[in-house]
Chains A and B, each alone.
Chain A
């Protein structure tokens, strides 16, 4: 019973809850049991709030019993990336500098999932302040890919993706600054969506790069992502970059999925050198399926995408260097006092020295430099110009096609330590995902199968014009339907049985 519950999609679980076949307490307990069983090996969670989750679930069951009208995800458990602040629950953003800090308020997306009756299970692991593509930069140790525990689960939101892939939660919230939702989805065989910039409030999301960050769903099915998207999207007066508009239902877009006549543009710059053969193979098979489903596949060019990474690694550190200045020990978080005393500058300095990891320091230094007088125009200014050119590439492409497609990331999950010593090769992992953040357009990653050469999952990324998120759910939903029919079941059904690792994880001393 318990294993059946955790393998249901959120939509299916929601239906069973609504029908009274299962209670939220049962569903929540099943997921907590699963976390207890496998998270020693996976380490998707930084913090599990079991008792509070069960109380919330019991309360939800009472409300349902009292006849209260509830949404489709009411009573469904959810994991929350630690980048989002949660009232009364630790929120570290994967950093030592926030260890022990308990926020006095909820991020808007968290408020929305609570209001929709979802049950927060806890907080998921991530690269420190969302800087990374592997979770190896988490101050609390890495998350392991459920497909192969020796490999990275992607990043920065590896915890959210792994929690969903390991059936520890049916849903998770993530944040995507340059691919932190989509790239982990790609390497874990899950679905991840970065909505249009401004579709979901950033209020309460611990900022990495304000002009790039966006909160989105992490799930196992496209419909689940759509249902969660419908919960968290919408204008928030607390975020002035939040779009003041009404959104169509993404879930409806999935349910009515139909690609006949849809023009899909393949970005030629993201379909060649540097991409693993198995990644490209599954990508093209997916396109053929869509073509058979009635879509028209055309090649498009985005000549400025090759400059995206360079521009991104100036804009992101610049904004991050300023956003992270508030971590100074004065009002919250870690405080390190050198030799028992010191001026406020010395305390700030010692705290930041002890509290930030090497990748965070690297980017703060980069960003501080890029914004300095005399360098601003050459670095930050030029990067903003590239950003405009990337936006124009998108405009030109979307004049010809409805959606764009590429592999989500160049390779399957790499092994721990493989790219740690070479930051630039780590940065290149985000080549396909970064342009969407620079332009503010939405993107989805949908699993396309396992790469033949290593048996690891890969995904396809679709991109749509800003505010046209529904197109992603249409094409993503259609592809998923075609693929699952071909596979004869969900891809994650083929993932290793993690309970076999339970013992070895315990022996290892729970990573």
Chain B
């Protein structure tokens, strides 16, 4: 694929103002699907099932089948709407969006059209570096996911050139909430970073609410990024493109940046932007033209006659509102203050996605500094080395226990790292590993003094130097003692004792 001509990003920003709009699909982790009792593959329990095994007459669109709304999906959608600062409609309706496509079993999608369940919200989003933006939310509506097509026989794995296509209806009917922003102005050069931070904030909310697994690589969270440019000083919005298939936080940032540079190059050369869907390609870091899209696409929406309106009680909405977690941006501000971290220290934790781990470790009794140190230090190193998710390596309770053992002097940092390896290997709790491996610091002065006396006796020259006041010479003795104790001694205490004994021994 020929790479489009791109304008330098800074130059593009000088000439044009970027306007972005984001559509995020969140797959809810309910036990069953949006409109049927078939198991929901967006729930971890059913993830990765064989094709077409999580289906019912309803998700296959068999003649005679009827949808029934999943109450749990409605509650989770309301919670998400409230967390986005939206108003919740006292009555909302489903509609049919009609179009023919083989991954759509009924050849219409049950969605919400003119009566979404949540509307008019705003969300505070903090980008890397701490700058915050208010993102206007137009609506959040419920709908069902489509099935998945696999195109076989072509070189590209895409429909063009394929010999045939396979359909997996496991995903058909998975409950989705689509969150649509209003056009976002004023992000300027931060637009790519803001797009990424916005989706990350939605992920944080979804996780805090427990409504979605929110894993982008599994498609639990999907983002379509609309980008348009308008020349500086112009009122009228430019023509937008909608980039789909953006499957990681990093790609969202790259895709928005790419579209700004691509569109700027076209506009600066006197060209026009085609309103279209574009596909993001992770490998080439570029977008390519998809289907032309116009506002005249006619989906023949009409109210879904098989479903009655969704009318949540005021009590239910109040109950869900009372159970909302703290908004992500406010929580970050609070935690940063409570922990007393510098900007850099806090960013270190937040950007590693370890905010929850550190917070829970602090809640389990560790000091913020030691919680940060273990998670962003040794555990991150172990995770990178083993290509595992750092959060899977240890629990906050285990890290807090480890920190407590260090604070109590039972473990040195060096010993603690060995204990952590045991924790990661699943050998048990830090205390159990200390006991099993015999890793505790030797705090029995008697044993230390015996070792020191022996070391001093074998190095009379060193002893003489110490007695002459050359205290730094003690290092050689301390090293020998630590070696004799197999590292299980507190070096500071050993030093104290070495100086004491050097003065005392004859």
Chain A residues near B (Cβ < 8 Å): 84-85, 91, 93, 98, 101, 103-105, 107, 202-207, 209-211, 237-241, 318-319, 321-322, 325-328, 330-332, 344-345, 348, 368, 371-373, 376, 380
Q: Which residues of A contact B98 (CB under 8 A)?
A: 321-322, 325, 371
Chain B residue with minimal CB distance to A367?
B300
Cβ of B63 and Cβ of A330 under 8 Å apart?
Answer: no
Of B57, B61, B100, B300, which contacts A372 at CB under 8 A?
Answer: B300
Please judge, given known A-B contacts A328-B107, A330-B167, whether A103 and B64 are in contact too, CB under 8 Å: yes
Q: Which residues of A contact B57 (CB under 8 A)?
A: 104-105
B69 close to A (CB within 8 Å): yes
Q: How far is the CA of A436 from the CA of B64 in the complex (A)?
A: 22
B361-390 CB mask vs A (1 if < 8 Å, else 0) is 000000000000000000000000000000
Known pairs A91-B63, A207-B64, A321-B98 / 8 extra A-B pairs, C-beta < 8 Å: A84-B64, A238-B68, A240-B306, A319-B302, A326-B106, A345-B100, A373-B300, A376-B302
Please judge, given known A-B contacts A84-B64, A207-B64, A325-B107, whether A372 and B298 are in contact too, CB under 8 Å: yes
Q: How far is the CA of A93 from the CA of B62 in the complex (A)?
A: 13
Q: How far is the CA of A333 from the CA of B170 in the complex (A)?
A: 21
Q: How far is the CA of A205 from the CA of B306 in the complex (A)?
A: 12
A-B contact count (CB 8 A): 100
A-B contact pairs, 13 of them (CB 8 A): A203-B66, A206-B64, A209-B305, A238-B66, A240-B68, A241-B305, A325-B100, A326-B61, A326-B63, A328-B107, A331-B105, A348-B100, A368-B300
Cβ of A85 and Cβ of B63 under 8 Å apart?
Answer: yes
B108 close to A (CB within 8 Å): yes
Please judge, given known A-B contacts A103-B62, A325-B98, A326-B63, whether A373 and B296 are in contact too, CB under 8 Å: yes
Contact-size category for B? 20 to 34
The smallest beta-carbon distance between B301 and chain A, in angstroms, is 8
Cβ of B62 and Cβ of A331 under 8 Å apart?
Answer: yes
Q: Which residues of A contact B68 (CB under 8 A)?
A: 237-240
Cβ of B165 and Cβ of A318 under 8 Å apart?
Answer: no
Q: How far is the CA of A368 from the CA of B100 in the complex (A)?
A: 13
Q: How far is the CA of A393 from the CA of B68 in the complex (A)?
A: 31
B487 close to A (CB within 8 Å): no
Cβ of A240 and Cβ of B67 under 8 Å apart?
Answer: yes
Q: Which residues of A contact B96 (CB under 8 A)?
A: 322
Q: How far is the CA of A237 from the CA of B305 in the complex (A)?
A: 16
Q: How far is the CA of A322 from the CA of B111 in the complex (A)?
A: 14
B52-85 CB mask vs A (1 if < 8 Å, else 0) is 0000010011111111110000000000000000
Chain A residue with minimal CB distance to B61?
A326
Most buried by A among B66, B98, B107, B165: B66
Of A85, A328, A371, which contacts B300 at CB under 8 A?
Answer: A371
Chain B residue with minimal CB distance to A105?
B57
Most buried by B among A209, A211, A238, A321: A238
Please judge, given known A-B contacts A104-B57, A328-B102, A344-B102, whether A322 and B62 are in contact too, CB under 8 Å: no
* Residues 88 to 119 of chain B near chain A (Cβ within 8 Å): 96, 98, 100, 102, 105-108
Chain B residues near A (Cβ < 8 Å): 57, 60-69, 96, 98, 100, 102, 105-108, 165, 167, 296, 298, 300-302, 305-308
Q: Name the 4 nearest CB pairs between A and B, nearest first.
A: A325-B107, A210-B305, A371-B300, A211-B305
Q: Which residues of A contact B69 (CB under 8 A)?
A: 240
Cβ of B64 and Cβ of A85 under 8 Å apart?
Answer: yes
Q: Which residues of B contact A107 (CB under 8 A)?
A: 64
Cβ of B63 and Cβ of A328 under 8 Å apart?
Answer: no
Cβ of A319 and Cβ of B305 under 8 Å apart?
Answer: yes
Chain B residue with minimal CB distance to A239?
B66
Chain B residue with minimal CB distance to A374?
B298
The smallest beta-carbon distance between A93 and chain B, in angstroms, is 7
Q: How far is the CA of A477 from the CA of B63 in the complex (A)?
A: 36
Q: Which residues of A contact B298 (CB under 8 A)?
A: 372-373
Chain B residue with minimal CB distance to A106?
B64
Cβ of B302 and Cβ of A380 under 8 Å apart?
Answer: yes
Cβ of B308 and Cβ of A241 under 8 Å apart?
Answer: yes
Please judge, given known A-B contacts A241-B308, A322-B98, A326-B107, whether A332 and B63 are in contact too, CB under 8 Å: yes
Q: Which residues of B contact A376 (CB under 8 A)?
A: 300, 302
Cβ of B302 and Cβ of A322 under 8 Å apart?
Answer: yes
Cβ of B102 and Cβ of A330 under 8 Å apart?
Answer: yes
Chain B residue with minimal CB distance to A325?
B107
Q: How far is the CA of A238 from the CA of B67 in the complex (A)?
A: 7
Chain B residue with minimal CB distance to A212?
B305
Chain B residue with minimal CB distance to A352?
B100
The smallest beta-carbon distance between B357 and chain A, in angstroms, is 42
The smallest beta-carbon distance between B35 and chain A, in angstroms, is 9
Cβ of B63 and Cβ of A98 under 8 Å apart?
Answer: yes
Cβ of B302 and Cβ of A240 under 8 Å apart?
Answer: no
Q: Which residues of A contact B63 (CB under 8 A)?
A: 85, 91, 93, 98, 101, 103, 206-207, 326-327, 332
Q: How far is the CA of A210 from the CA of B302 in the complex (A)?
A: 12
Cβ of A322 and Cβ of B300 under 8 Å apart?
Answer: yes
Cβ of A203 and Cβ of B100 under 8 Å apart?
Answer: no
Chain B residue with minimal CB distance to A209?
B305
Q: How far is the CA of A373 from the CA of B301 in the complex (A)?
A: 9
Q: Which residues of A contact B167 (CB under 8 A)?
A: 330
Q: How far is the CA of A460 from the CA of B330 in the complex (A)?
A: 70
The smallest beta-carbon distance between B256 and chain A, in angstroms, is 30
Cβ of B64 and Cβ of A205 under 8 Å apart?
Answer: yes
Please judge, given known A-B contacts A326-B106, A348-B100, whether A240 and B61 are in contact too, CB under 8 Å: no
Of B61, B296, B300, B302, which contacts A331 at CB under 8 A?
Answer: B61
Cβ of A318 and Cβ of B302 under 8 Å apart?
Answer: yes
Q: How far is the CA of A207 from the CA of B67 in the complex (A)?
A: 12
The smallest beta-carbon distance between A176 and chain B, in angstroms, is 16
The smallest beta-carbon distance between A239 and chain B, in angstroms, is 5
Q: How far is the CA of A368 from the CA of B99 in the complex (A)?
A: 11
Q: Which residues of A contact B60 (CB under 8 A)?
A: 331
Chain B residue with minimal CB distance to A329?
B102
The smallest beta-carbon distance between B142 and chain A, in angstroms, is 14
Q: How far is the CA of A368 from the CA of B302 in the complex (A)?
A: 11
Chain B residue with minimal CB distance to A343?
B159
Q: Which residues of B contact A318 (CB under 8 A)?
A: 302
